[in-house]
Chains A and B, each alone.
Chain A
Amino acid sequence: MSDLFANIKFDTGRAIAILSIDRKIYSKSAILKVCYWFSEDLYFQVTEEENHFSMTVRLREATPTLDRPSVKKLDEWLPDILNALVDAQLREEIQVETAGIRELIIAKAFAESGILEGLPPGTFEDPVETTQPESTRLLKIDTRIPK
């Protein structure tokens, strides 16, 4: 298994791993999605270098506890992280390639109803219309402090 991770740097206790991720292959958002996905069990730090992203991975809990009697080693997490990176990047590529057709399908789906012709109520900056007069607000907000 250690040969598989020849390009990954470890600290002496193999509790921290530093992955060098080629930025020509993986996007920043794909990397961050992977970090989020594993954040329950691992800590991540991502830094941006000239040609690559550097991802530092550390176990949240390295020793077994009563709550978690069996702890996966960092070596055991790495294949999952590498697979998740590939998956996240593929999902991005699918999203980019299908963005146009997705919009077309939605437009076709709701074109006859005319629902998409009108703008949704409110604005992005003021979604509950707090700046509008109270009589025309979509949502009534009671600002009084309860006694």
Chain B
Amino acid sequence: MSRSFSPKAAFQPPETGYRLLPFRFHRVGKEQEILVNECGEFALAPRGTAEKLVRKRLSTDEELYTTLKAKHFIYDDYSSALLDVLASKYRTKFGFIYEKSESLATIRTKSQD
């Protein structure tokens, strides 16, 4: 059985556009801004990128589109399955908070016994 790649068109960004994932941004100097997502991944982008993202004016042809998609700032129909990856990263980063609260609850339960 031979295997082959799908045609190029199959890898093109969907025409339905993209949706935002939670992120924060801050202006850095006069020409750049830093975008940081929920898991602490960041991207330095030209100033005005956050506004472009929110207004859905970022073209899918731009290199920045693929960068922001890869770093979990935006997602589209093709990359929505990668939300599990983002959730996994989130758990790695913030798991200690929940572990602490769980152990606190365990201590409380034991003290009540």
Contact = CB atoms under 8 A, between A and B. Distances in A.
A83 to B, nearest CB: 7
B90 A91 contact: no
Of the four ranges (under 10, 10 to 19, 20 to 34, 35 or more), the interface on chain B belongs to 20 to 34
B83 A108 contact: yes
A97 B21 CA distance: 8
A51 B82 CA distance: 43
A33 B87 CA distance: 29
B38 interface: yes
Contacts of A83: 27
A133 to B, nearest CB: 11
B44 interface: no
Contacts of A63: none
Q: Which of B27, B87, B102: most chain A Cβ within 10 A?
A: B87
A115 B98 contact: yes
A94 B23 contact: yes
A101 interface: yes
Range of interface residues on A (Cβ < 8 Å): 20 to 34
A51 B99 CA distance: 48
B87 A121 contact: no
Contacts of B111: 136
A37 B102 CA distance: 35
B42 interface: no
B11 interface: no
Contacts of A120: 101, 105
B68 interface: no
A98 B22 contact: yes
A95 B83 CA distance: 18
A1 interface: no
A91 B86 contact: no
B54 A94 contact: yes
Contacts of A104: 83
A106 B90 contact: yes
Interface of B: 19-25, 27, 38, 50-51, 54, 83-84, 86-88, 90-91, 94, 98, 101-102, 104-105, 108, 111-112
